[in-house]
C-alpha cells in the first residue's frame, strides 16, 4: 500500500499524535511553552516525522481537516498544563487561506476552555506571499480572537524585513541557519544581533531555533533574544512526558 491510501484513513483511525518541544525563556531559564509537532504512528512503518507526510497531506487536500484535529488536540493538551504555559501550532498555507480557519480556532479554544492568550499560531513567510491584503485581514481576525502570531523560519524566505512592518505579528522565530552561521564566523552573530535589535524596536518577541550548545544559548541570550528552542533543551517529546520535563526544570 502507498502512503497516500493510508493517509486517507489515518485521521479516522487515530494514528496521528502530537509531540512537543519546549520553548525556553532565556532571561528566566524556564519553559514558557511548547511547540506542537505532528507525528504519524504508522501501523507498519513506525513513527513518521512530519516531513514524510505533511507535503503529501497538503497535496491531497487533507491538511485542512488534519489541521483542525491538530488545533483541537494541541488546545486540549495545553489546557492540562500549568497555567501560563503556551502552545504553538504550525499552520500550512492551505489552512491559512481556508475560510474556516477562524472558526476552527474558536471551536478548539471553546471546547478545550484554553485561554486564547495561551495559543500561538506559527506561520511562514512563504504562506503570506500570495495575497497581502487578505493575509493582513486574516491575521487581524485571528489576533482579535486573542491568539498570537509567530513568524516561523524567519530569514529563509523573501523580503523578510518588510514583512515585519507589513503583517501584524507578535513574535519572530529566527531560523536555525543563523545559529549555524553564528558558529562559523563573526558576521553570523551580527545577523542575529541585528534581527533581535530590530524586533525589540518593533516590540516583537524573538525565539531562536536550533540551539544545540550552551555557548549558542549564551550568545543569543546576550543579544536580547526572548526564547530559545532546540536539542540543548529537548527534542520534541510525546505529550505524556511533559509533566516529567516540567518537574526536571523546576
- Count the residues of the shown chain that bind ligand G, applying the rule CB under 6 A: 23
Q: Does 32 bind ligand G (CB under 6 A)?
A: no
Which residue, 232, 200, 249, is CA-closest to 33?
Answer: 249
Among the residue ranges 5-13, 40-48, 86-94, 199-207, the one whose residues contact ligand G (CB under 6 A): 86-94
- Between 33 and 236, whose beta carbon lies closer to ligand G? 236
Among the residue ranges 45-53, 106-114, 157-165, 193-201, the one whose residues contact ligand G (CB under 6 A): 45-53
Using CA atoms, how far apart are residues 82 and 62, in angstroms rounded to an integer?
32
Site string for Mn ion, 161-190 (x = CB under 5 A): ------------------------------
Q: Does 90 bind ligand G (CB under 6 A)?
A: yes
CB burial of residue 65 (10 Å; 0-12, 13-18, 19+):
middle
DSSP 134: H
Site string for ligand G, 192-221 (x = CB under 6 A): -----------------xxxx---------
Query: Residues 152 to 171: which contact Na ion by CB under 5 A?
Result: 152-153
Contact 195, 154 (CB under 8 A): yes
To the nearest whole angstrom, how small is the minimum distance from the Cβ of residue 247 to ligand G? 22
Q: Which residue has the cell 506559527?
A: 122
Distance (Å) of CA 170 to CA 15, 142, 148, 202, 246: 33, 12, 6, 10, 25
Query: Residues 130 to 169: which contact ligand G by CB under 6 A?
Result: 152-153
Q: Which three cell numbers stand for residue 118?
A: 495561551
For the chain, strand residue ranges (E) read 16-25, 30-42, 46-48, 86-90, 119-124, 148-154, 171-174, 205-208, 227-228, 237-238
- Residues lying near Na ion in the complex (CB under 5 A) are found at 152-153
Which residues of this protein are in contact with ligand G, per CB under 6 A?
21, 36-38, 49-51, 54, 70, 90-92, 152-153, 176, 209-212, 229-231, 236
Give the residues lining the site for Mn ion (CB under 5 A).
90, 122, 152
Amino acid at each position: 500500500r502507498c502512503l497516500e491510501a493510508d493517509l486517507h484513513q489515518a485521521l479516522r483511525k487515530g494514528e496521528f499524535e502530537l509531540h512537543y518541544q519546549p520553548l525556553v525563556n532565556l532571561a528566566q531559564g524556564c519553559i514558557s511553552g511548547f511547540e506542537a509537532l505532528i507525528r504519524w504512528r504508522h501501523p507498519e512503518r513506525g513513527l513518521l516525522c512530519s516531513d514524510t507526510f505533511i507535503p503529501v497531506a497538503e497535496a491531497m487536500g487533507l491538511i485542512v481537516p488534519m489541521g483542525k484535529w491538530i488545533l483541537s488536540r494541541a488546545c486540549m493538551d495545553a489546557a492540562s498544563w500549568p497555567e501560563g504555559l503556551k502552545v504553538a501550532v504550525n499552520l500550512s498555507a492551505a489552512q491559512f487561506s481556508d475560510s474556516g480557519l477562524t472558526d476552527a480556532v474558536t471551536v478548539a479554544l471553546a471546547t478545550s476552555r484554553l485561554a486564547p492568550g495561551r495559543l500561538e499560531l506559527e506561520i511562514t513567510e512563504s504562506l503570506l506571499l500570495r495575497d497581502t491584503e487578505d493575509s493582513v485581514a486574516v491575521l487581524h481576525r485571528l489576533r482579535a480572537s486573542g491568539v498570537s502570531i509567530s513568524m516561523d523560519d524567519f530569514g529563509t524566505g523573501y523580503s523578510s524585513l518588510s514583512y515585519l512592518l507589513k503583517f501584524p505579528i507578535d513574535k519572530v522565530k529566527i531560523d536555525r541557519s543563523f545559529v549555524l552561521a553564528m558558529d562559523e564566523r563573526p558576521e553570523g552573530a551580527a545577523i542575529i544581533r541585528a534581527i533581535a535589535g530590530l524586533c525589540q524596536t518593533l516590540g516583537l518577541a524573538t525565539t531562536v531555533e536550533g540551539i544545540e550548545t550552551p555557548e549558542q544559548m549564551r550568545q543569543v541570550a546576550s543579544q536580547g533574544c526572548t526564547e530559545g528552542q532546540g536539542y540543548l533543551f529537548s527534542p520534541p517529546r510525546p505529550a505524556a512526558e511533559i509533566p516529567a520535563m516540567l518537574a526536571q526544570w523546576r
